[in-house]
Copies of this chain bind each other. A is one copy, B any other.
Amino acid sequence: MNASPLSAASGHAVPLRVGVAGLGTVGVGVIEILRNQAALIAARAGRPIEVTAVSARDRSRDRGVDLAGLGWEDDAVALARRDDVDVVVELIGGAEGTALDLARAAFSGGKSFVTANKAMIAAHGPELAAAAEESGLALAFEAAVAGGIPILKALREGLAGNAVGRVYGILNGTCNYILTEMRTTGRDFSDVLAQAQALGYAEADPTFDVDGIDTAHKLAILAALAFGGRPDIDAIHVEGIRHVTIDDIRFAEELGFRIKLLGVARMTGQGLEQRVHPCMVPLSAPIAHVEGVFNAVVAEGDAVGGTMFQGRGAGRGPTASAVVADLIDIARGHAGPAFSVPALALGAPAAAPIDAHVGAFYIRLMVLDQPGVLADVARAFATEQVSLESLIQRGRSEVEAVPVVLTTHATSEAALRRALDTIAALPAVIEPPRMIRIENSL
């Protein structure tokens, strides 16, 4: 480490000086926490932590926080060149552009770097970690995954003695809010999405959230820390929640499940399986009861067994809390490799294709209630060696379609898809079969 104030022993009262790039809700939250809890934070960090400079687009805008006495930069990248900044906090967002320029400039300028930017870390994390480690600087991004839940620290440190077998979670509060509202009000996806947009829980363009992309970014980072490989967003099978219906939600409850959008990473004999999709989780599992905008992550270690971490995944306070925790680690001199192992030691585990996934499934068919339909359906599953766990047929009508709901025992996804292709072609099956994977949970 070079002779920056970071190398001072943590007992000394040399302040850690912070430059904040981006003064949206989280940036303001970081400034507020560092001010309001200054004494507590200094006691825990062993030294004061002070914001000395900021950057944002519009200097004149009233953000409800006093910026007097702070340095100002119109160009965020200039924060990386200031003598009065030890650590840059990046809250601009975007995988490339200014955020990435700033990260690179921070390390070449001898500054540590804290960010909430999941897209950038999923895309460029190892490169940035290598730059940090080469210079004895810190890269930290606790806020990038599951907001206020210190899950990256838990994987990197608290469970560091464990080989992780599976890590999964509810990583997007917008989707969890929508699924919770659908279940509790009986309204359909588009209605609830419109309400979430009106309340500010969903963006005008909701694609990033509801199609699972945000969850995939976070899963790529979680998997990297858990399994010691480079984040690989392209290896993730991604499905969103647009196709989840009220019928599926009701059948789930009847069968003892709840539907959650999960990101799941699991080390298998075929390689690292990474997938984002709606899941049925058992009602007996605590994660089934993580509702509304809450996030939760389950990590399964070989020694510790299953552990679950729950909290708010977004918003000013939770995200700023994670940023401040990273700053306190840096102030203490406790910054190790950002991905748990040195960036240059990160592997590239083989990706298991989604067809190789083995698990149980929920299937909903809409069929005309004609003689022989169930026999045809059962034969299609039997031919592919898919074993059924339960079957519900509800209602009788020779003119309208009725739902037939099945759950399977564990089977390969490839076999299941072949069976569904056969079933979809049956004349009495009048809609494409709907499939939701069942995920066991502690």
Query: Which of chain B's residues has its CB closest to A158's CB?
Result: B150
- Which residues does chain B contribute within 8 Å of A296, judged by CB atoms? 286
Contact of A153 among B148, B149, B153, B324 (CB under 8 A): B153
How far, in Å, is A132 (CB) from chain B's closest CB?
A: 13
Known: A286-B290, A302-B317. A159 touches B150 (CB 8 A): yes
A328 and B161 contact, CB distance less than 8 A: yes
Is there contact, CB below 8 Å, between B161 and A33?
Answer: yes
Contacts A158-B154, A286-B286, A325-B158 hold; do A311 and B305 have CB atoms under 8 A apart?
A: yes
Q: Which residues of B contact A291 (CB under 8 A)?
A: 284
Question: Knowing A44-B340, A336-B334, A345-B43 touch, does A307 contact B148 (C-beta < 8 A)?
Answer: yes
Q: Which residue among A37, A285, A296 has the maximum number of chain B CB atoms within 10 Å of its CB?
A: A37
Is A382 an interface position by the 8 A CB rule? no
> A332 touching B341 by the CB < 8 A rule?
no
Shortest beta-carbon distance from A176 to chain B in Å = 13
Contacting residue for A324 out of B150, B160, B341, CB 8 A: B160
The residue of chain B having its C-beta at the shortest distance from the C-beta of A289 within the complex is B286
A162 interface hit (Cβ, 8 Å): yes
**Smallest CB-CB separation from A291: which chain B residue?**
B284
CA distance A318 to B307 in the complex (A): 10
B321 touches A301 (CB 8 A): yes
Q: Closest approach, in angstroms, between the C-beta of A84 and any C-beta of chain B? A: 22
Given that A10-B336, A157-B325 are known contacts, is A308 also in contact with B305, CB under 8 Å in the complex?
no
List residues of chain B with CB within 8 A of the CB of A324: 160-161, 303
**A-B CB contact pairs (8 Å), 7 listed:** A33-B161, A34-B161, A150-B153, A153-B153, A153-B158, A162-B321, A289-B289
Task: Kindly provide the distance from the CB of A185 to the nearest chain B CB, expressed in whole angstroms.
Answer: 16
Cα(A302)–Cα(B37), bound, Å: 10
Q: Do A336 and B332 touch across chains, with their CB atoms under 8 A apart?
A: yes
Closest beta carbon of chain B to A200's beta carbon, Å: 17
Q: Return A328 CB to nearest CB of chain B, in Å.
A: 5
Instruction: Return the chain B residue nearest A142 by Cβ.
Output: B158
A8 cross-chain contacts in B, Cβ below 8 A: none
In the complex, residue of chain B having the shortest beta-carbon distance to the beta carbon of A147: B304
The 10 closest A-B pairs by CB, nearest first: A150-B158, A161-B324, A148-B304, A307-B311, A303-B317, A303-B321, A304-B321, A334-B334, A308-B310, A43-B341
Residues from chain B with a CB closer than 8 A to the CB of A341 are 43-44
- Count of this chain's copies in the oligomeric assembly: 2
Give the B-binding residues of A (Cβ under 8 A).
Answer: 10, 29, 33-34, 37, 40-41, 43-46, 142, 147-150, 153-154, 156-163, 228, 284-291, 294, 296, 301-312, 317-318, 320-322, 324-325, 327-329, 332-334, 336-337, 340-342, 345, 442
Q: Is B289 a contact of A305 with CB atoms below 8 Å?
A: no
**Chain B min CB distance to A95 (Å):** 26
- Are A160 and B44 neighbours in the complex by a CB distance under 8 Å? yes
A303 in contact with B318 (CB, 8 Å): yes
* Other A-B pairs beyond A44-B160, A46-B337, A157-B325, 9, CB < 8 Å: A41-B161, A43-B345, A46-B342, A148-B303, A148-B307, A153-B157, A160-B328, A284-B289, A294-B442
A287 to B308: give the CA distance in the assembly, Å. Answer: 11
Q: How far is the CA of A309 from the CA of B154 in the complex (A)?
A: 10
Cα A158 to Cα B329 in complex, Å, equals 9
Q: How far is the CA of A333 from the CA of B335 in the complex (A)?
A: 10
Contact A161:B325 (CB < 8 A) given known A285-B289, A336-B46, A342-B43:
yes
A290 surroundings in chain B (CB, below 8 A): 286
CA gap between A308 and B312 in the complex, in Å = 10
Closest to A49 in B: B161
